[in-house]
Amino acid sequence: MNSPQSQDPIVSEQTNISADPLQNERVLVLDFGSQFAQLIARRVRDQNVYCEIVRHDIPAESVIARKPAAMIFSGGPSSVYDQGAPKCDPKLFELGIPILGICYGMQLTAQSLGGAVQACPAREYGRARLSISNMEKLFAGFPSEIDVWMSHGDQVQKLPEGFETLAGTTTCPHAAVKHHALPIYGIQFHPEVSHTALGGTLIHNFLYNVVGCQGRWHLSNFADQTISQMRQRIGSDRVICGLSGGVDSSVTAALLYKAIGPQLTCILIDNGLLRKDEQSAVIREFTDHFQADLRVVDAGDRFMSALSGIRDPQEKRRRIGHAFIECFKEESLKINGAKYLAQGTLYPDVIESGAAPDGPAATIKLHHNVGGLPEQLGFDLVEPLRDLFKDEVRKLGLELGLPEHLVWRHPFPGPGLAVRCLGEVTRAKLDVLREADEILITEIRNANLYRETSQAFVVLLESQSVGVMGDSRTYENAVAVRCVNTDDFMTADWSRLPYDLLALVSTRIINEVRGVNRVCYDISSKPPATIEWE
């Protein structure tokens, strides 16, 4: 999971967790290339159980050294019978450590123990109705039927000796299985995604009913460990932290300030791609809640020059990332002893950039924090939030004493409005986008729905459309309003905002933002869409 320049506070081999409660309740997630491997770990941490992601081919000896309470085998994009498909050390099944195999993890477990896996007649993707025939430990407290989320092209056709079926669907008879005597379970569906009903309860049942965990890990433990690790790693050197005003960079700054105090210098790069009045808001928030050194760099011209004529979204991100790092390099020369660059990178940024630990998840996007960095930065990266999801970062921010209005601010992408301005980015288009976005957020706040939505923003489309204003025909810009609800930002559903609110937003944007004559509402979920358009 680590980039060559960074150390991961949770997953790194150098992580030193010596507290007995964590040693006694450590769960290892073996990553077979799933987009959701870290989401599994996040669901485990929801149950107050410490979790690490490790290589799928981790040797049994290394597992024994870590003394895990359980192992979870993730899903993955491969077929277990393909040449070169990821495998695990077969000795893992002889250790007596409880195992939960999910999707590919279940298929690999079955194949490794003598069962048969074959391709389905048709790939199954989406909701399915699961009928539970055995309400033992894994399904304790469940109704007889629930909706689950499937995503597979293969399934177990023949169970290994000693296994029994716990649940099935009309197309997948062995959708949940267990060994008669060993603590080995397999499920074909994905309990880690929000689309599976009672998925968190199933993971809870595995951890508490099967494994016997007691739930001793909390985000306060993470904060204490991370502060200690940062202090030890940084020593007497200085750290520069990119501050954007969002919760990610603010929590990163708060953690580092607690760790190293005056050795921290925060830098706001005004790249010309910020929201309306963003610079003044960041300075105000920073002055109110931090005592560290803050420097503001006006770099709008540099970024706009770098983006001139560029339409491809990935190239936009690359150029923004390059300009971002160059600005930090130049500013760092003015700060004596600056050795580290801190960034508020979260795991969804990492997983969607294809930078997962050892089994490549498909690259969905480049993120300038993780995907476009030059090989020689001139300083080392510090990414203390790299293993956390957005909701965990918010909880951590509250633990650190940050105000609720800052902690619950909607996310804003690192590349800024450039990825919400489709096609070439120009100052005129950015001005349109800022005004429209400000209207949307203002009206959502006025309706007391800001906390009810996870992320809301406006996208300026490339296409123009015919309209009528007054007695004149117009041919102007169309914008899309995007509002989603989510717990983790790995999956999301579109927000069912009241029609009256949508009508008000549309009317205000068309009437008040010059150059816009059409407003659309995005009703796609993630997956298959992403939250941002680029």
Residues annotated as part of the active site? 103, 190, 192
- CA distance readout (Å), 183 to 55, 101, 309: 22, 11, 59
For residues 82 and 156, give the distance between their C-alpha atoms in angstroms, rounded to a whole number.
15
Output the six-digit token pair for 317.
Answer: 């991100």
CB burial of 24-39 (b: ≥16 within 10 Å; e: otherwise) equals ebbbbbbbbbbbbbbb
- CA distance readout (Å), 511 to 332, 436, 482, 507, 517: 45, 10, 19, 6, 8
Output the six-digit token pair for 212.
Answer: 């016997």
Q: How many whole angstroms from its chain centre is CA 197? A: 21
- CA distance readout (Å), 203 to 42, 45, 72, 208, 310: 11, 10, 10, 9, 45
Amino acid at 23: Q
For residues 243 and 500, give the distance between their C-alpha atoms in angstroms, rounded to a whole number.
36
Quick one: which of 528, 440, 459 has its CA closest to 492?
528
Tokens 């024994």 belong to residue: 64
Q: What are residue 400's phi and psi, to 5 degrees?
A: -85, 0
The DSSP call for residue 492 is B
**Strand ranges inside 404-471, DSSP E:** 455-469
Output the six-digit token pair for 148.
Answer: 């689950």
Pairing outcome for strands 99-102 and 184-187: parallel
Q: Residue 143: CB partners within 8 Å, gap ≥ 6?
A: 132
Quick one: which of 42, 173, 30, 170 has its CA closest to 112?
30
DSSP 3-state of 293: strand
Q: Residue 257: CB partners within 8 Å, gap ≥ 6?
A: 264, 290, 291, 292
Output the six-digit token pair for 324.
Answer: 């971002």
Q: Residue 308: CB partners within 8 Å, gap ≥ 6?
A: 424
Bridge partners of 96, per DSSP, are none
Tokens 């993780």 belong to residue: 370
Pairing outcome for strands 51-55 and 99-102: unpaired
Torsion angle, CA of 41/42/48/50, rounded to 10 degrees?
Answer: 40
